[in-house]
Amino acid sequence: MGAGVKPRVAIVGGGFGGLYAAQTLTHADLQITLLDRRNHHLFQPLLYQVATAGLSPGDIAYPIRAILRKQKNVRVLLAEVVSIDTGRRLVHLKDGELGYDFLILATGARHAYFGHEEWEINAPGLKSLEDALEIRRRILLAFEKAERATEEARRCALLTFVIVGGGPTGVELAGAIAEIARQVMVSDFRAINPREARIFLVEAGPRILSAFPEELSRAAEEALTKLCVEVKTNCPVTSVEPGRVGLGEDRYPAATVLWAAGVMASPLAKSLGVPLDRVGRVLVEPDLTIPGHPEVFVVGDLAAFTHQTGKPLPGVCPVAIQQGRHAARNIVRASAGLPLEPFRYWDKGNLATIGRAHAVADFGRFKISGFFAWLVWLFVHIFFLIGFRNRFIVLFEWAWAYFTFQRGARLITGDIDRYNRTPSL
Amino acid sequence: MGAGVKPRVAIVGGGFGGLYAAQTLTHADLQITLLDRRNHHLFQPLLYQVATAGLSPGDIAYPIRAILRKQKNVRVLLAEVVSIDTGRRLVHLKDGELGYDFLILATGARHAYFGHEEWEINAPGLKSLEDALEIRRRILLAFEKAERATEEARRCALLTFVIVGGGPTGVELAGAIAEIARQVMVSDFRAINPREARIFLVEAGPRILSAFPEELSRAAEEALTKLCVEVKTNCPVTSVEPGRVGLGEDRYPAATVLWAAGVMASPLAKSLGVPLDRVGRVLVEPDLTIPGHPEVFVVGDLAAFTHQTGKPLPGVCPVAIQQGRHAARNIVRASAGLPLEPFRYWDKGNLATIGRAHAVADFGRFKISGFFAWLVWLFVHIFFLIGFRNRFIVLFEWAWAYFTFQRGARLITGDIDRYNRTPSL
């Protein structure tokens, strides 16, 4: 780059990593381009609430260009990135290309089926707003179809929900579906009793919430059991077919199977030509760059950062936020001729919520579960949500749901004809 | 029907007509079944606000079975009705059938292209939530694509919006798009100035809002002109192609064309085997029944009621609500052995809103336009919206939009690949 020409920074992905990187560069003398194939930043920690009819898509998403409106050194482009040419320092778009001096790659991960991609159609996962609306449609449709079912066996299958994966997303989905069945819908039907719905949370490992201390796993399991969720640990899924799921040796009828069991990094990682881990994440250097390219940073769910504990940091927002900020600061250092600094994750704790007014929280020495943990969960999530409007509406929706036992977004939307095409129903 | 057996009432459609009919029968000793192919009642008068990113789908829709939860003589079924057999008194469903002693048909209307159905893909209309989200996607994507456009001509076409039809929906859409371009998005882009967007409202007839008195049409046109909407009257659309629209003899480049020009009654009317009008509406008797079948009532947009003014009543909510109630009361009379009574529409007035804080209102002798008309519009709409939650959130969204000039639901959702398939962009 010539003297007087501002270095060009390309940020790919407007999730937590990319967005916080861009915001950290507010006062930097750089030309920044943030690329995303969506027009909105998505607050993924609350996506399960869109899937379970508690919130609307607009409540947890915010237009990226509106967030960065006042930051004049950033332009935001809606574009799909297909590959990175690190040799020529080019981002290849579906319809064009973009040169860079520094690159931050923050394209995240999708859910994965590890060799059983054919399961996806019968067991959708939860990563985008579209996923959330598809899951919402399936949950609500199952009750609607059960109300009309004439055979007992079909009604039972329609009222059976299997959530695969005992991590925070699986726990949150199971708790919310139990609430819908046992509280929200309870007087809405004439032929069925929604309380008869069975909700299974199945986990291949020995306990749910395995990233949490054992005592909190136990507390979460107890809380779920109280909500009548049947928790099955050491229970690998062996098949997923329309209307049926295999658990171990047995096959159970279940119209709705939801997948919260695994992730796979964005395929963009492959185009970097550097070593990836088993789930496709980039094995980054201690300073978050990739081997041989000190101008290319990878952050968030796309990065496998193993230099702190020996195993990769978890795919959670705080890691993405801290890495995005760190990569941005390293770019400022590099453009000032200073050496890059290694990243260090500051683990502030771990939270998961279980249905109505119950959560578990792990702050190292300090572990809590129950109502107070839920209040902590609530305020942390409201705090990180972007925009006054979204905070206000989400708080209102929660208060309303808390006092009325209702949910504000019980809509089945989408192509009418899909109602009958949905394979598992 | 035998002695002691409650008469079976089937209501097809959970819009204003069907829902108010069901609610009117709260204390009637009847077995009522309300059928809809959607799980939600939709507050159509505010649908244009979902299309223009002001409201979320959940804010103007409410689950039908939740509305009727406490009314124990009604069951709600999600089902698609394919035809009516008036001879055998059967409703044929896509997957079953339902007998009735009384039937209320309230399936409404869709937008229509009158022999140019091929225009729909390039000029979508606004009747369902899916339509609204598609229109929202097109409006927001046009600005996104313009920001990336490299040729001036393409940029201009992307920033040209043509709304076809000068009725209330067309006026409301045009006003809202003008607001988005000139207020909401104004500092969000770097390469384009959204204020350069051109918004055309085209009407084949001599004036917009032709159902209103001439002075209000003029007031609306002035208000739109202040918002920089270009109103073209006596201007029939002669073609709609990808990226281009024909107006009279000329063809103009325009990436986004929206259709608010005509309606066609639900095709279910045909299966009744009775006379229909030009747009497929059932020519009902004075008591809202169909000729030869005093047990079959047709209400709302599906009915052409010509007995009051010689021409059909307009397709607006108050007509549907009053007819739904009247049909319900006639069923109560019939089941008590009393004669049916003729329907009479009580016209309480007519409202249309034009962008921010401006509306026109026609209450017969009393005609107003401007801010006060908008307040009337606002309170009437909040009042008829169902549910405390929806009222509260819609009021909050409006207040927030009013003071911040922002819009709460600026999301482009849907299949990513459709971004490039959308023909007109």
Using DSSP bridges, classify how beta strands A303-304 and A282-283 pair: parallel, antiparallel or unpaired. parallel
pLDDT at B415: 58
- Please, are residues A346 and A325 in contact by the beta-carbon 8 Å criterion? no
SS3 content of chain A, % helix, strand, coil (to 5): 35, 25, 40
B251, B228, B327, B231: which is closest to B284 by C-alpha?
A: B327
Measure the CA–CA gap between B237 and B222, rounded to whole angstroms. Answer: 22
pLDDT at B62: 92
The DSSP line for A183-198 is IITTTT-SS--GGG-E
Measure the CA–CA gap between B37 and A144, rounded to whole angstroms. Answer: 11
Name which of A344-358, A382-396, B129-143 the model is least confident about: A382-396
Q: Is B75 near chain A, with CB under 8 Å?
A: yes
pLDDT at A400: 82
- Across A333-347, average pLDDT: 96
Measure the CA–CA gap between A350 and A424, rounded to whole angstroms. Answer: 34
Q: pLDDT tens digits for B259-312? A: 999 889 999 999 999 999 999 999 999 999 999 999 999 999 999 999 999 999
Q: Is A70 near chain B, with CB under 8 Å?
A: yes
Question: Residue A200: pLDDT above 70?
Answer: yes
Q: Which of B172, B179, B203, B221 is catalytic?
A: B172
pLDDT at B4: 67
Distance from CA of A355 to the nearest CA of B (A): 21
> Rg of chain B over CA atoms, in angstroms?
22
pLDDT at A415: 58
Dihedral, CA of residue B377, residue B36, residue A177 and residue A62, to nearest 10:
-40
- Across B60-75, average pLDDT: 94
Name which of A125-134, B117-126, B384-393 the model is least confident about: B384-393
Residue B215 neighbours by CB distance under 10 Å: 12
- Please, are residues A188 and B65 in contact by the beta-carbon 8 Å criterion? yes
Distance from CA of B399 to the nearest CA of A (A): 11
Q: Cα–Cα–Cα angle for B52, B55, B58, nearest 5°?
A: 130
Does B172 qualify as catalytic in the annotation? Answer: yes
A3: confidence class by pLDDT, cuts 50, 70, 90: low
Instruction: Give me the residues of A, 82-121, that contact B with CB < 8 A.
Output: 94-96
Q: pLDDT tens digits for B389-421? A: 888 888 888 888 888 878 878 888 775 544 444
Measure the CA–CA gap between A66 and A64, rounded to whole angstroms. Answer: 5
Measure the CA–CA gap between A69 and A65, rounded to whole angstroms. Answer: 6
Distance from CA of B108 to the nearest CA of A (A): 16
Closest-approach residue (CA) in chain A for B142: A78
Tokens of A195: 């309380």
**What average pLDDT does chain B have?**
92
Chain A residues within 8 A of B130 when measuring between CB atoms = 413-415
Alpha carbon A348 to its chain centroid, in Å, reads 19
A416·B37 Cβ contact <8 A: yes
pLDDT at B1: 47
A147·B78 Cβ contact <8 A: yes
Chain A residues within 8 A of B420 when measuring between CB atoms = 94-95
Task: Say whether B346 sits in a helix, a strand or coil.
Answer: coil
Tokens of B385: 């919206």
Question: Residue A294: pLDDT above 70?
Answer: yes
Question: Residue B173: pLDDT above 90?
Answer: yes
Question: Residue A64: pLDDT above 80?
Answer: yes
Closest-approach residue (CA) in chain B for A400: B389
- Across A266-278, average pLDDT: 95
Question: Residue A182: pLDDT above 60?
Answer: yes
- Across A67-83, average pLDDT: 96
A58·B187 Cβ contact <8 A: no
Question: Residue A161: pLDDT above 60?
Answer: yes
Tokens of A366: 């300090």
- Indicate the helix (H) or strand (E) that contains A275: none
Q: Which of A172, A179, A285, A397 is catalytic?
A: A172
Q: pLDDT tens digits for A408-421? A: 778 887 755 444 44
A199: confidence class by pLDDT, cuts 50, 70, 90: very high
Measure the CA–CA gap between B46 and B216, rounded to whole angstroms. Answer: 21
pLDDT at A356: 80
B129·A415 Cβ contact <8 A: no
Q: Which residue has the higher pLDDT, B364 or B73?
A: B73
- Across A345-364, average pLDDT: 89
